[in-house]
């Protein structure tokens, strides 16, 4: 009887040794899976639309992450331009900020329109004068607070850029205290085309532009939004 009890106890002990590694491995795999889900859920949360400061979330533009979720948004009733080409121009009373070269400003604005046109060729953007007759009416004006610009959805099409407190750059690499004009204009153009803010940090349509950086390339989220709107 005693021998039978010993054999039974030994068998239970051996079964515990055999199963223990698999139990531990299963717990480790489960934790790893949960970490992957957590990383996916914390992508791209936005902050108020203004000139921003670099942070660990903004720098790097979420490079290397899979594009799994559409973060773009449209305005209510999804307004958009229905006749093409879409025209743009500077309104007559617009005053370019002191220190900026008018040709460089025009080149930066034209380059910004070209980037959007490359994704939706039917825009066929055309500059007209005076700007009051254009679909997208560009003006430099004083904008209060830390905002650098406003873009109004179709059919309004007003595009305002600050000429009071924003230190604009038209060069290829803005200084740490400068805001890249082409990047800012690209964002505002997106709004005049009908795109609202995106929650994707890497998107041009994200609501904050960081001084000393550029966003002159549309992110997949920007492209997805504009092509769906004008499909």
Rounded-to-integer distance, Cα 61 and Cα 49, Å: 17
Q: Does the annotation count 188 as an active-site position?
A: yes
Same domain? For 54 and 36 the reply is: no
Same domain? For 130 and 214 the reply is: yes
* CB-based contact 215:191 (threshold 8 Å): no
Same domain? For 166 and 125 the reply is: yes
Same domain? For 114 and 20 the reply is: no
**Which pLDDT score is estimated for 145?**
85
Same domain? For 100 and 37 the reply is: no
Same domain? For 38 and 54 the reply is: no
For the chain, the domain total comes to 2
* CB-based contact 154:81 (threshold 8 Å): yes
Q: What is the mean pLDDT of each run of 10 residues along the chain (231 residues)?
A: 48 40 27 22 29 40 43 94 98 93 97 98 97 97 90 95 95 95 97 96 94 97 98 96
Same domain? For 57 and 34 the reply is: no
Domain with 23, as residue range(s), is 1-42
**Which pLDDT score is estimated for 32?**
23
* CATH code of the domain covering residue 86: 3.40.390.10
Looking up tokens 């239970």, which residue turns up?
Answer: 12
The catalytic residue among 38, 117, 129, 188 is 188
Same domain? For 27 and 57 the reply is: no
* 3-class secondary structure, 125: coil
Same domain? For 38 and 56 the reply is: no
**146-169 burial string, b = 16+ CB within 10 Å, else e?**
eebbbbbbbeebbbbbbbeebebb
**Which pLDDT score is estimated for 144?**
86
Same domain? For 3 and 55 the reply is: no
Same domain? For 166 and 85 the reply is: yes
**Which pLDDT score is estimated for 15?**
42
Same domain? For 114 and 12 the reply is: no
């Amino acid at each position: 009887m005693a021998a039978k009890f010993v054999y039974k106890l030994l068998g239970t002990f051996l079964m515990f040794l055999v199963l223990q590694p698999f139990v531990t491995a299963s717990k480790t795999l489960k934790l790893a899976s949960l970490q992957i889900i957590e990383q996916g859920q914390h992508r791209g949360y936005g902050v108020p639309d203004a000139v921003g400061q670099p942070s660990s979330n903004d720098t790097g533009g979420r490079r290397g992450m899979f594009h799994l979720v559409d973060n773009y948004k449209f305005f209510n009733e999804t307004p958009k331009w229905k006749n093409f080409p879409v025209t743009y121009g500077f309104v007559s009373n617009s005053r370019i900020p002191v220190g900026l070269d008018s040709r460089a400003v025009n080149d930066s604005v034209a380059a910004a329109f070209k980037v959007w046109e490359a994704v939706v060729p039917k825009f066929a953007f055309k500059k007209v004068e005076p700007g009051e007759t254009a679909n997208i009416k560009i003006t430099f004006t004083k904008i209060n607070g830390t905002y650098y610009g406003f873009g109004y959805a179709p059919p309004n099409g007003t595009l305002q850029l600050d000429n009071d407190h924003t230190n604009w750059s038209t060069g290829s690499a803005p200084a740490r205290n400068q805001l890249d004009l082409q990047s800012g204009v690209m964002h505002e153009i997106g709004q005049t085309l009908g795109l609202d803010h995106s929650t994707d940090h890497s998107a041009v349509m994200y609501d904050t532009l960081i001084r000393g950086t550029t966003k002159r390339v549309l992110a997949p989220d920007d492209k997805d939004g504009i092509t769906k709107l004008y499909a």
